[in-house]
Chain A
Amino acid sequence: MRIIHDIPGGVFPPEQKSLSNQQQIDTLPLFAEYIIPLKQHIGVAATPCISVGDQVLKGQQIGVSTGFMSTAVHAPTSGIVKAIDYHLVSHPSGLKDVAITLTADGQDTPIDSNPRADWQALGKRELLDIIRSAGIAGLGGASFPTAVKLDGQRPIDTLIINGTECEPYITADDMLMREHADEIRTGVEILAHLLGNPPTIVIGIEDNKPEAIALMKIACAGTKIEIASFPTKYPSGGEKQLIQILTAKEVPSGDIPAALGIVMQNVGTARAIKQAVVDDKPLIERITTVTGEGIEQRGNFHTRIGTKVEDLLQHLNFDAQNTKVVMGGPMMGFELPSLDVPVVKATNCLLIPGYDTSSATAECIRCGLCAEACPAQLLPQQLYWYSKADDHDKLNAYHLSDCIECGACAYVCPSKLPLVQHYRAAKASIKQTAEDQLRSDRARARFEFRKQRMDAAEAEKEAKRLARKAATEKAKLAKQAAANSPSANEKATKPDAVADPLAAADPLAAADPLAAADPLAAARAKLKQTKAGEADQQSERLQKQLKSIAQRIEFIDQQIADTLSEHGEEASLIPQLQSKRAASVLKQEQLQAKLAECSSTSKPVESSGLAATASRDASQGNAPATATATATATATAPESTSTSTSAPTDIERAENAIESLTVARAAKRPDDRQREALKRIDDNIARCQQQLEDSSDQQLRDKLKLRISKLEAKRAETQSSEAFTPSAQEVSTDKALQAIERAKQVAAAQAKLSPEEKLQQQYLGLQARLEKAKARLSKAEAEDSEHIDAFRTAVTKIEVKLSEWTRDHDAN
């Protein structure tokens, strides 16, 4: 005999079981229409697998299980699919959900079935698949997908079958145990087999069902299944409470019974499992109690899932006009907002109370009767107080989440407060707040990451811009050097001639001989920047993508961890998240491969470009290698393409390489440049020789030999031009460098100046500008220039500025 433990709290409402358990379970006629909601269980709705107008057979699967946390739905009879649309479903709010409307054809033709007598031979997976595709969800009322509940990873040593049926009025399980005890036993045996034959199997039944207890005992005689009966008290049938009664253990808060090695199933579910596994019959009907003082014809009925409540009550000659109908029991059921809703897998009872349940509420007097009734040992009066105040912290501190909404507190409340309603609202509010918090946390993380990314991109851009600027300046210097070198001077005369008319227009521009050459340098720099940077950009982009994908994977991992901690391993989201993660990992690998490819190709481009440059330089023979301006000019000139390789991409590459060379060379001092050039040529020669040795193709060998000789010539040239390296160029470069140095010194000096000195400088600067402007004006007046007005305005402006400045700073 199992030792029975008491649960704290609990109430003793009038049982009223005899209203409905005096006659056998009755059958119902075939109704014209059935409504089968796709979501009759906790989790994800089933996916319809038929179309409107399809002919279906009784027991045919019409909705398939969508993922792990779902289960299938089946046609309750044969007929034609009339609609797949939103329909009122059994929900206290009058919610509409997707349902399949089936018009019965009256034939009730069943689909072929393959009974399995040898279910013992089936493995856990096969059994779970059968249970899932048979659409079995917990028939006790919660409708948790049974396959999910049985698919835990933790070891199970106790299987509890719940035949408690502690709610007043309901007798569906009572009658089921009386009439189908053998089927229940087989179902329990299947469950035990599936769970690896746990050592303890108990069927718990309240002692107000003596017939059921006796019949179950007979049915289970000779098996290791125990029948335990215990005193009637509401809510003994709650999962947590029944575990406490039978084992004295408490399911840890926020966990599931599997934490204690316990799995609990309802007797109805056990029978449904037997029917699914042994008889190959899906879950298309259940036993529903129709009871209450408000209806004459009471009893239990084999009710097809999808039967409209309206039809059922009409069949019982009940006029439901303006009468309250409760789906479920009086303690935990909900009032139906409409009777145009179907009986679903969870519908164990339809209660027509026939009494006025609404009573005036009074203030809470903190009498504490609720705390004494609470089976979870909460303090309902405090919870009520804090849920009215919407104080989430306090509600959590008083463990609102442990409330099982059994209604014992509201039952005993002398002030008739709708306590459960308050708790439900508070729970919803807490959930909502948590969701909002999560959303805002995610948004913040997203925003911060984006900002970081943008900042990084901005910094990168800035760095590039600076580099570009430096490059342009250096190119300018090089240009200047080239312009001053003797060979380039001849060419430079031409731009000078072009610049002359401009000089007439602008005397300042005339003073700068580089003005005309500038755009060319800029254009070159631009070309260089776009071309040379392309490969880099590509790899950069790839790297960025890689980074974000890594971030994404991390985020998904986080989500998985969150979901796991929140819902345990049975959470429906996890498979989705895992598939997402897998996709991301795949993408990451692709990107990595691409990146590797990209970086490996960008190198050859450079080297071949170098080779091309070198070879071209060599082919030009007498052209001065350091006269980069000339080299660039010829590279862009159409005739030079003939000397280069024919493919346009190669030209681009060559251009690219020339540009980079130009820039690099400009950045170096002439002797450095020469040394580098020599080194490069040596490298090229070595590489070519290596290739020559490796290669067996005659043609290629010839080409390489030619290139080597050319390179050698070039090398000699470069070496001999050492003397050539013009001092003029060095001087001019030095001049420019000196100017930069000077400017730097001025800037540094300025930075070092004291505020007073700065002011002095500013003043002097302004005066100098004024002097200059005045001089220009007088010159313009003397020449009677057409810009005389502009010069006058400039003078006035500077004068105004100066006076303002004087005024501002004298005031201090």
Chain B
Amino acid sequence: MTQTSPHLQSSLSTAQLMRLVIFACIPATVAMTMLYGVGTLINLALAAAGAVVAEAAILALRGRKVRSALLDSSALLTAVLLALAIPPYAAWWLPFVGAIIAIIFAKQLFGGLGMNPFNPAMVAYVVLLISFPLAMSSWPEAQQLSAPIPNEVALAAIFGGETIDGYTAATPLDIVRNLQGQTYTEAVAANQELAMGKVAGYASEIINVAFLIGGLYLLKRRLFSWHAPVAMLLALGIMSLLFWTGDGSDSRGSPLFHWFSGATMMGAFFIITDPVSGATSNRGRLIFGALVGVMIYLIRAFGNYPDGVAFAVLIANLAAPFIDYYTVPRSYGRENATSVIAKDSDQ
């Protein structure tokens, strides 16, 4: 068949796009490895193995071309994002099974690349969090703050079914959510992580800054538009500002605290910018991002889980088609943008 115009194409391909996002995760990976040791890298390897195996198996079952689909690195990206969200030194099957869940249940069962309504990494994270709440919230303390985890303990934790109880610590989000009558200042003073950090805990800040660096790089490469991340961070900031009481025992954390703790920056630049499960238009992205921001704060401040990024993203994913429906941009030469809605309501 004769190819039609255009006969020119930009060099950027889907696989390159995916790889670029993976590259942008390098600062965070480095930071986490520095803070927690090899646990993060092991998570990465296990999740990657699980994702690739699951992807290949399902593609083979679906009768698709396995090689070219694997080469697009989309499964690998999902694995990387999931692995960075799982606590280091978790049992080996946690990242492995998580990746399989992400690929099979959140991605391939919906039709594969480009078809998934939910962010696969976040689906897997939530499944793991609900199924194994203890394992999923056992974050080790940064080795700069206490002793590094000995190799035998790490091995036993990963492959032997043991725990790393002795080396874990409550995350800043846990502490601030449950101040137990202390003022914020008291809590900060009582916690080494918070005390060592500038605004949101030592390790949290480093990891979030690392994700921010990677995210800004992607933004510079114009892989996604600024709308969703900016809207999310603004919404989160405004929410925390509204409920922030300064130093009181009911202080739920300042905007800076929320921006640089938990998975905020990862969510803002690596999760909600997932084009597949997000909103389509720029206006839609603003709404989508703001919704995520508000939800994150509500879950953090009033919910039962320490961090709300995964839940917030899934709820927003659910709302994305609805947002798209009402945010079709005004196209050239049109009076307004409401014709999609008008057309449907006419019927």
Q: Please give the residue numbers on chain A whose beta carbons come within 8 Å of chain B beta carbons, in ascending order.
A: 8, 11, 13-14, 92, 168, 240, 244, 250-255, 324, 326, 328, 330-335, 337, 351, 353, 357-360, 362-369, 371-372, 375-379, 381-382, 393-394, 396-399, 402, 405, 407, 410-416, 418, 420-421, 424
A378 to B112, CA, bound (A): 25
Chain A contacts for B281, CB-based, 8 A: 371, 379
Residue among B4, B13, B225, B334 making CB contact with A372, cutoff 8 Å: B225
User: Which B residue's beta carbon lies closest to that of A411?
Assistant: B6
Q: A253-B334, A397-B339, A402-B334 are in contact. Are A365 and B114 (CB under 8 A)?
A: yes
Q: A253-B332, A363-B114 are in contact. Are A416 and B9 (CB under 8 A)?
A: yes
Pull 11 A–B residue pairs with CB atoms less than 8 Å apart, ordered by A: A14-B8, A253-B332, A359-B13, A362-B15, A366-B276, A369-B12, A382-B324, A396-B343, A398-B328, A411-B8, A415-B13
A416 to B334, CA, bound (A): 29
B5 and A407 contact, CB distance less than 8 A: yes
Chain B contacts for A326, CB-based, 8 A: 7
Q: A92-B2, A364-B114 are in contact. Are A252 and B10 (CB under 8 A)?
A: no
A397 to B2, CA, bound (A): 30
Counting CB contacts under 8 A, is B220 at the interface?
no
A332 to B2, CA, bound (A): 14
A411 and B10 contact, CB distance less than 8 A: yes
Residue among A92, A365, A375, A410 making CB contact with B332, cutoff 8 Å: A375
Chain B contacts for A335, CB-based, 8 A: 2-4, 7
A168 and B8 contact, CB distance less than 8 A: yes
User: Which B residue's beta carbon lies closest to that of A408?
Assistant: B6
Chain A contacts for B14, CB-based, 8 A: 362-363, 365, 367, 414-415
CB distance from A658 to the nearest CB of B (A): 69
A14 to B3, CA, bound (A): 20
A533 to B313, CA, bound (A): 86
6 shortest interchain CB distances as A-B pairs: A407-B6, A253-B333, A376-B332, A330-B8, A363-B114, A397-B340
CB distance from B250 to the nearest CB of A (A): 41
Residue among B7, B113, B331, B340 making CB contact with A330, cutoff 8 Å: B7
Q: A362-B14, A364-B114, A397-B340 are in contact. Are A402 and B333 (CB under 8 A)?
A: yes
User: Which B residue's beta carbon lies closest to that of A240?
Assistant: B332
Chain B contacts for A366, CB-based, 8 A: 114, 275-276, 280
Counting CB contacts under 8 A, is B131 at the interface?
no
Residue among A244, A337, A399, A420 making CB contact with B339, cutoff 8 Å: A399
Chain B contacts for A360, CB-based, 8 A: 68
Counting chain A CB atoms within 10 Å of each CB, which of B8, B334, B343 scores highest? B8
Interface majority SS (helix, strand, loop, mixed), chain B? loop
Chain B contacts for A363, CB-based, 8 A: 14, 112-115
Q: A365-B114, A399-B339 are in contact. Are A334 and B5 (CB under 8 A)?
A: yes
Chain A contacts for B16, CB-based, 8 A: 414
A333 and B7 contact, CB distance less than 8 A: yes
A353 to B334, CA, bound (A): 37
Chain B contacts for A369, CB-based, 8 A: 12, 222
User: Which A residue's beta carbon lies closest to that of B74?
Assistant: A365
A399 and B280 contact, CB distance less than 8 A: no
A362 to B12, CA, bound (A): 12
Chain B contacts for A376, CB-based, 8 A: 331-333
Counting CB contacts under 8 A, is B213 at the interface?
no
Chain B contacts for A254, CB-based, 8 A: 333
Not counting A8-B332, A363-B113, A418-B3, a sample of 13 additional A-B residue pairs whose C-beta atoms are within 8 angstroms of each other reads A250-B333, A251-B333, A331-B8, A363-B14, A363-B114, A367-B223, A367-B275, A369-B12, A398-B340, A402-B331, A412-B10, A414-B16, A416-B9
A735 to B99, CA, bound (A): 107
CB distance from A741 to the nearest CB of B (A): 63
Q: Please give the residue numbers on chain B whose beta carbons come within 8 Å of chain A beta carbons, in ascending order.
A: 2-10, 12-17, 68, 72, 74, 112-115, 222-225, 275-276, 280-281, 324, 328-334, 339-340, 343-344
Chain B contacts for A372, CB-based, 8 A: 222, 225
Interchain Cβ contacts within 8 Å, total number: 159
B2 and A334 contact, CB distance less than 8 A: yes
A334 and B225 contact, CB distance less than 8 A: no
A412 to B6, CA, bound (A): 10
User: Which A residue's beta carbon lies closest to that of B113?
Assistant: A363
B5 and A328 contact, CB distance less than 8 A: yes
A413 and B328 contact, CB distance less than 8 A: no
Chain B contacts for A365, CB-based, 8 A: 14, 17, 74, 113-114, 275-276
Q: A333-B5, A351-B7, A382-B280 are in contact. Are A368 and B332 (CB under 8 A)?
A: no
B9 and A410 contact, CB distance less than 8 A: yes
CB distance from A98 to the nearest CB of B (A): 23
B13 and A416 contact, CB distance less than 8 A: yes
CB distance from A147 to the nearest CB of B (A): 25
Chain A contacts for B17, CB-based, 8 A: 365, 367, 414
A240 to B333, CA, bound (A): 9
User: Which B residue's beta carbon lies closest to that of A381?
Assistant: B280
Chain A contacts for B3, CB-based, 8 A: 335, 357-358, 418
Counting chain B CB atoms within 10 Å of each CB, which of A333, A360, A399, A416 scores highest? A399
A331 and B334 contact, CB distance less than 8 A: no
A643 to B300, CA, bound (A): 122
B7 and A424 contact, CB distance less than 8 A: no
A270 to B330, CA, bound (A): 34
Counting chain B CB atoms within 10 Å of each CB, which of A252, A368, A378 scores highest? A368
Counting chain A CB atoms within 10 Å of each CB, which of B2, B15, B72, B324 scores highest? B2
User: Which A residue's beta carbon lies closest to that of B13?
Assistant: A414
A366 to B328, CA, bound (A): 15
CB distance from A391 to the nearest CB of B (A): 12
B8 and A13 contact, CB distance less than 8 A: yes
B332 and A357 contact, CB distance less than 8 A: no
CB distance from A366 to the nearest CB of B (A): 5
A332 to B281, CA, bound (A): 26
A369 to B224, CA, bound (A): 8
A125 to B344, CA, bound (A): 48
Chain A contacts for B223, CB-based, 8 A: 367
A363 to B65, CA, bound (A): 12
A579 to B13, CA, bound (A): 57
Q: A337-B2, A365-B74, A382-B280 are in contact. Are A253 and B331 (CB under 8 A)?
A: yes
Chain B contacts for A364, CB-based, 8 A: 114
User: Which A residue's beta carbon lies closest to that of B343?
Assistant: A397
A394 to B112, CA, bound (A): 23
A244 and B280 contact, CB distance less than 8 A: no
A420 to B334, CA, bound (A): 21
User: Which A residue's beta carbon lies closest to that of B279?
Assistant: A368
Chain A contacts for B224, CB-based, 8 A: 367-368
Counting chain B CB atoms within 10 Å of each CB, which of A254, A326, A334, A367 scores highest? A367
B5 and A331 contact, CB distance less than 8 A: yes
B10 and A379 contact, CB distance less than 8 A: no
A132 to B184, CA, bound (A): 84
A797 to B172, CA, bound (A): 109
CB distance from B119 to the nearest CB of A (A): 13
Residue among B6, B225, B276 making CB contact with A331, cutoff 8 Å: B6
A421 to B5, CA, bound (A): 8
B10 and A13 contact, CB distance less than 8 A: yes
A252 and B275 contact, CB distance less than 8 A: no
User: Which B residue's beta carbon lies closest to that of A415?
Assistant: B14
CB distance from B37 to the nearest CB of A (A): 34
User: Which A residue's beta carbon lies closest to that of B4?
Assistant: A421
User: Which B residue's beta carbon lies closest to that of A402?
Assistant: B331
CB distance from B314 to the nearest CB of A (A): 17
CB distance from B138 to the nearest CB of A (A): 34
A364 to B9, CA, bound (A): 15
CB distance from A318 to the nearest CB of B (A): 18
A364 to B276, CA, bound (A): 9
Residue among B8, B72, B275, B343 making CB contact with A357, cutoff 8 Å: B8
Chain B contacts for A407, CB-based, 8 A: 5-6, 8
A372 to B331, CA, bound (A): 12
B329 and A377 contact, CB distance less than 8 A: yes
A638 to B15, CA, bound (A): 108
Chain B contacts for A324, CB-based, 8 A: 7
A377 and B9 contact, CB distance less than 8 A: no
